[in-house]
Amino acid sequence: MTAALLPAAPDLMAAYTDWLQRLSAERRMSPKTVEAYGRDVRIFLGFLKDHLGAPVGLAEFAGLAPRDVRAFMAARRAEGLSSRSLMRALASARSFARHLARTGRGEASALSAVRSPKIARSLPKPIAPAPAKLMLDADTRAGEDREQWALARDAAVLALLYGCGLRISEALSLTRAEAPVSGVDRIEVTGKGGKRRQLPVIKAVRKAVEDYLALCPLHLPPNGPLFVGVKGGPLSPRIVQAAVARMRGSLGLSETATPHALRHSFATHLLGRGGDLRTIQELLGHASLSTTQIYTEVDGARLMAIHSEFHPRAQAGR
């Protein structure tokens, strides 16, 4: 990239490159997360270049005032950025500033002096047990113009999401050698931050994977992906998302019924059946219990809705 296109002075861009490398190597962030952080900071540096009239270097970055940060936030708001996206952009810039401080390149205190935007806390939207189970049945999509093995493959992926609480990236990262078949009752996956966790696999999930493997016409080498596309390459998450989107109409589900909603359903239904929060935290791979506690609110909201609809005194008050 030529100097004219750089959003900041060479010394700050060198620190930026070093920061991205550390995010990937030391903090083990996924490539997509590193890319998002890097994009946020490049946009911030580009704004500062226009806002201050020249590319900023280490000294200028450390000398930023809170009003400069607020001007950036106001500009991004004017572009239609949501509170959640704006909060992430500010978090990315703060991460970069902390890296500068840790490596002795200056203290950009203005970033910590500005409050993050408030965002409304939204509850996860689980899918009810009955339609969730139907989503895992390849016969639910029997009328589609798709090969039977592909329908069985999608059903097996969704079974792992709902039966084990996996993220879609975790399910699609499994190799053929890691497939829970032939009596294997647990799998090990790598979650966020490179954290490994073991998960039990119930019989219904094992059967879904076995059905897929029995029908799959492609050769699956042990170290290759368990779930593949029609040409044998790794299965794209978009294929699974499209499969779920097609089922929403036939099952009468809302737009919130996504592959990730099955993970929410796994946690909510476990909690509703008496599962304890600590165990659910471990199964989901949450670093903090507070992240898992949101499912207590989901279950509480469900109970209140049931009470309001069916309790005689509630009905009498309508």
Helix (H) or strand (E) holding 197: strand 196-200
User: How far apart are alpha carbons 136 and 202 in whole angstroms?
Assistant: 14
**263 has catalytic annotation:** yes
From the candidates 42, 94, 98, 260, give the one annotated as an active-site residue. 260
**167 has catalytic annotation:** yes
- Crossing angle of helices 294-310 and 259-272, in 10° steps, is 70
**295 has catalytic annotation:** yes
Helices (H) and strands (E) in the chain, counts: 16, 2
**264 has catalytic annotation:** no
From the candidates 16, 37, 162, 295, give the one annotated as an active-site residue. 295
Tokens standing for residue 69: 């940060």
- Crossing angle of helices 83-102 and 10-25, in 10° steps, is 100
From the candidates 76, 141, 153, 167, give the one annotated as an active-site residue. 167
Helix (H) or strand (E) holding 11: helix 10-25
Helix (H) or strand (E) holding 178: none
Q: Which residue has the tokens 């008050």?
A: 317
From the candidates 192, 246, 248, 302, give the one annotated as an active-site residue. 192
**269 has catalytic annotation:** no
From the candidates 141, 176, 206, 263, give the one annotated as an active-site residue. 263
Q: Which residues are catalytic?
A: 167, 192, 260, 263, 286, 295
